[in-house]
């Protein structure tokens, strides 16, 4: 189940030739209301793609009606031509929706259309523009309330589609995502569209989305590289007529985002281990995240996991670079349930620890407080280096 699982939404995904594979590469998600609300979270990278620059303005105007997404080109660092391509894309969607017999034509405008792109940075010519803009009418014609084609159209190096859903008491959430490389906070490289038919306002949507992304996507730190194109969009249609308790809705949204983050981690480029770094006993949540992230970004640790080597000394060396409050000589470290380090010294023999399973759990106990956080990462492999050494070729 994907973005059309909730009521009030239609979507479509088609192939327009942006990808050399001939696979779908242009998608559209439309919110048909009747009571639209929206929230958007963008990359914190200062280098931002043209769709991000455009969508930031759209998000300030009020709840967006639709989001159009392409794979096969990031449209980033493509100058005025690239920004104009984004604007023309939004205008084409607004025009096509304005004459859509199956939708509400009363308020179609370019500044109601969010735009997302993903792919190679620094590319985007007239052919790229024509393939997108010229095929928008076909894309709108393909819109359906039972669509399952959109998730495939946003993939780049992903090997699988990524979707999640939640069913509440009379209301629903549906979601789709892409992401396999450049996975680091702010938000972790991804395009995510989340839909709900809950009757909520923009303020509730924004609070819930920021809380959900902060505890999920912002704690996915696969390779320490931050994208220029990250965008997570939440669209609410109000079509269920049900207004859930805000806390209940926020928890459901957080669970959906957490599921997507786990799927992104599992599909990370070239990875052979999915590593959950759980930090317990921190003086604050911020300290727990900082400690977990220091390990997630440590290439020596990541290489050791690739080699199935439970080198706990690299964990202590990594966390010692942080400003978190703890005594490194009181720390315990466990790998896959085996405590290898106790109070800053050796504990169980390392040969008791099996790191051959793909799923890997590292537990760091700081004994400095009562807070906890988990940061997701992956190992550093030959396949990751190979795939990214030839990405643009």
Q: Which residues are catalytic?
A: 189
Where would I find the beta strands (DSSP E) of 218-273? 231-236
For residue 283, what is the enclosing H or E element?
none
- Describe the crossing of helices 312-319 and 285-296 by its angle, rounded to 10 degrees: 130
CB neighbour burial string for 305-320, b if at least 16 within 10 angstroms, e if fewer: bbeeebbbebbbbbbe
- Answer for the pair 206, 59: CB distance below 8 angstroms, yes or no: no
Calpha distance 139→154 (Å, rounded): 14
As beta bridge partners, residue 113 has 66
Coil, strand or helix at 13: strand
Cβ-based neighbours of 21, under 8 Å, separated by 6 or more = none
Calpha distance 86→70 (Å, rounded): 11
Calpha distance 30→33 (Å, rounded): 9
């Amino acid at each position: 189940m994907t973005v059309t699982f909730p009521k009030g939404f239609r979507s479509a995904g088609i192939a327009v030739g942006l990808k050399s594979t001939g696979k779908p590469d242009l998608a559209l998600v439309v919110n048909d209301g009747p009571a639209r609300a929206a929230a958007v979270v963008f990359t914190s990278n200062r280098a931002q793609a043209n769709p991000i620059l455009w969508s930031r303005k759209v998000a300030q105007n009020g709840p967006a009606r639709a989001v159009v997404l392409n794979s096969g080109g990031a449209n980033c660092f493509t100058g005025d031509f690239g920004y104009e391509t984004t604007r023309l894309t939004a205008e084409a969607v607004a025009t096509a929706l304005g004459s859509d017999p199956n939708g509400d034509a009363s308020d179609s405008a370019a500044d109601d259309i969010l735009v997302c792109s993903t792919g190679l940075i620094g590319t985007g010519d007239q052919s790229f523009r024509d393939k997108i803009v010229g095929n928008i009418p076909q894309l709108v014609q393909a819109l359906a309330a039972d669509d399952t084609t959109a998730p495939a159209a946003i993939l780049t190096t992903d090997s699988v589609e990524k979707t999640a859903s939640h069913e509440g008491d009379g209301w629903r959430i549906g979601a789709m995502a892409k992401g396999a490389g450049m996975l680091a906070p702010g938000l972790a490289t991804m395009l995510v569209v989340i839909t709900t038919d809950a009757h909520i306002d923009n303020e509730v949507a924004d609070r819930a989305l920021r809380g959900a992304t902060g505890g999920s996507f912002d704690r996915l730190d696969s390779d320490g590289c931050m994208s220029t194109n990250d965008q997570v969009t939440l669209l609410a249609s109000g079509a269920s007529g049900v207004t859930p308790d805000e806390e209940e809705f926020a928890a459901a949204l957080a669970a959906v985002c957490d599921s997507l983050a786990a799927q992104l981690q599992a599909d990370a480029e070239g990875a052979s281990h999915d590593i959950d770094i759980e930090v317990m006993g921190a003086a604050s949540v911020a300290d727990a995240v900082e400690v977990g992230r220091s390990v997630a970004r440590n290439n020596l640790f990541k290489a050791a996991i690739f080699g199935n080597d439970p080198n706990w000394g690299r964990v202590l060396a990594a966390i010692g670079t942080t400003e978190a409050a703890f005594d490194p000589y009181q720390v315990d470290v466990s790998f896959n349930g085996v405590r290898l380090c106790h109070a800053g010294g050796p504990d169980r023999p390392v040969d008791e620890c099996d790191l051959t399973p793909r799923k890997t759990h590292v537990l760091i106990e700081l004994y400095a407080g009562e807070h906890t956080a988990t940061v997701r990462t992956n190992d550093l492999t030959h396949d990751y280096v190979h795939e990214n050494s030839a990405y643009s070729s």
